[in-house]
Structure 1
Amino acid sequence: MKKNILLIGGSYGIGATIADKLRKNNSVYIASRSNESIPEGVTHLSFDALKDDISSLDLPETIHSFIYCPGSINLKPFKMMSEDTFQEDLNVNFLSLVKSVKGILPNLKNADQASLLFFSTVAVNTGMPFHTSVAAAKGAIEGFAKALAAEYAPNFRVNVIAPSLTDTSLASKLLNNDSKKEKMAERHPLKRVGTVDDIASTATFLINDDASWITGQVIGVDGGLSTINLN
């Protein structure tokens, strides 16, 4: 049976790759501001997670899987971070996620067991300089996901992927020359930065029934950075 899968964001990068992997056997919907790289066969719905009401979208009555992709990378010393930056990161990463989940709650409840997937960062569990704002916002996602998983079990499965640095447009300033790429790769035990396929493959597994006994987990897809110390 084809499942209805909704991605918020996902018109490019990791989200688009996830949609491409899922579209062959499912009905995939991407709700995003742009449609620049929407895979063939995927339904695009114009939507701004910061401003729009998701319940107004023309969605199926039943949504089997929900993936929230929007995120931010604001890396600065704490003394240079304004309160507005913290609020903006919280809005993009967490508060708009909460609003979206609440808006499609009736659709998710119609599924036998809905699967929800969110994104955090390795910097939540591994303290890193210059990550105060994004780590705070993503940390809120991890706490929310575990509490949501507990509250709605067994009807919902809720999991989180916590990547390390991944080669996407969002991280382009950190990887815009060979020297930076080599330096970032050396920080990881597996000696490379992540790719969109690394993250999308894990996301596809967690969304599918192959992971039907996995919930309330934060999965590190980080080249070993969060758990292995080679020094």
Structure 2
Amino acid sequence: MKNIVIIGGSHGIGLAIAKELQYESKVFVASRTNDLLADMNVTHISFDVTTDTLDTTALPDVVHGLVYCPGSINLRPFRGLKPEVFESDWQINVMGLIKVIQALLPNLTAAEQSSIVTFSSVAAGIGMPFHTSVAAAKGAVEGFAKALAAEYAPKMRVNVIAPSLTDTPLAEKFLSSDEKREKSAQRHPLKRVGNPEDMAQMALFLLDKKSSWISGQVFHVDGGMSTLSVNT
């Protein structure tokens, strides 16, 4: 049975992944809260990626998969974004990821071949107004993942999922009315916003041995937004 660590797995995409994995793997969820995990077959570790150091003594010596879910959505005009906002987005999206991987590196490299899955954004690949802060942070995630994948191949695989707007607590304010939801859906060629299960299915594939010849890739799970132009 595989040991899978999910950082930020108590809500949204991370929770959807944990629900899928809980009966086929030993799942360890490191997050600030655990209210939605009470009835699940997972081990919870209290952890705030912005302030805490991950306690690896609570984890097995061998970790087969790591999913890093924390992120941010600060969508504002560039002129109104203070440097502190960029720094905050950088800390949660990039430095948090780096610190977690460095802490777990002995555990990940102890596996025959481990898999790391992290998250970017459609905004890192296409220019979108008001996305300068998140696009900068997520673009760094993509570059970091490719470099890390090259450095640790074939021992460790590293891949990135780049969603468009997904119906999670993080995106709640952008989907808070039927009008907003419909407008967001119509911006996508597939005419709906994403849901956590869409992302979870891709993450499950990337954690599985079925993807053992895939590394250093960015997978756009975005309703076609990054590549398709469809008349409405």
SS in 2 for 1:104: helix
Superposition deviation, residue 53 in structure 1: 1.6
Cα root mean square deviation, aligned? 0.9
Residues 122 and 226, structure 1, Cα contact 8 Å, conserved in 2: yes
Q: What does 1:9-20 align with in structure 2 at a 5 Å threshold?
A: 9-20=8-19
Tell me, in whole angstroms, the C-alpha distance in 1 between the residues paired with 2:30 and 2:174: 27
SS in 1 for 2:216: coil
Equivalence for 2:2 = 3
Query: Structure 1: any 5+ residue segments left out of the alignment?
Result: none
Cα deviation digits, residues 34-79 of structure 1 (max 9, x gap)? 1021251100011111122224541100000001010000000000
Cα deviation digits, residues 131-160 of structure 1 (max 9, x gap)? 000010011100000000000000001000
Equivalence for 2:141 = 141
Measured at CA, do residues 19 and 149 of structure 1 come closer, stay the same or move farther in structure 2, by a change above 3 Å? same
Tell me, in whole angstroms, the C-alpha distance in 2 between the residues paired with 1:52 and 1:167: 27
Residues 121 and 164, structure 1, Cα contact 8 Å, conserved in 2: yes
Query: Structure 2: any 5+ residue segments left out of the alignment?
Result: none
Indicate yes or no: 2:68 matched with 1:68.
Answer: yes
Residues 56 and 104, structure 2, Cα contact 8 Å, conserved in 1: no
Equivalence for 1:22 = 21
Deviates further, 44-53 or 104-113:
44-53
Equivalence for 1:169 = 169
Residues 45 and 57, structure 1, Cα contact 8 Å, conserved in 2: no
Report the TM-score, using the length of structure 1 for normalisation.
Answer: 0.98
Query: How many residue pairs end up in the alignment?
Result: 230
**1:201 partner letter:** Q
Tell me, in whole angstroms, the C-alpha distance in 1 between the residues paired with 2:186 and 2:159: 29
SS in 2 for 1:130: coil
Superposition deviation, residue 123 in structure 1: 0.3
Cα deviation digits, residues 75-108 of structure 1 (max 9, x gap)? 0000000000000000011101101100110001
Tell me, in whole angstroms, the C-alpha distance in 1 between the residues paired with 2:25 and 2:216: 24
Superposition deviation, residue 202 in structure 1: 0.8
**1:210 partner letter:** K
SS in 2 for 1:107: helix
Equivalence for 2:218 = 218
Equivalence for 2:197 = 197
Superposition deviation, residue 13 in structure 1: 1.0
Tell me, in whole angstroms, the C-alpha distance in 1 between the residues paired with 2:6 and 2:124: 23
Tell me, in whole angstroms, the C-alpha distance in 2 between the residues paired with 1:32 and 1:57: 16
SS in 2 for 1:30: strand
Percent identity for Structure 1 against Structure 2: 56
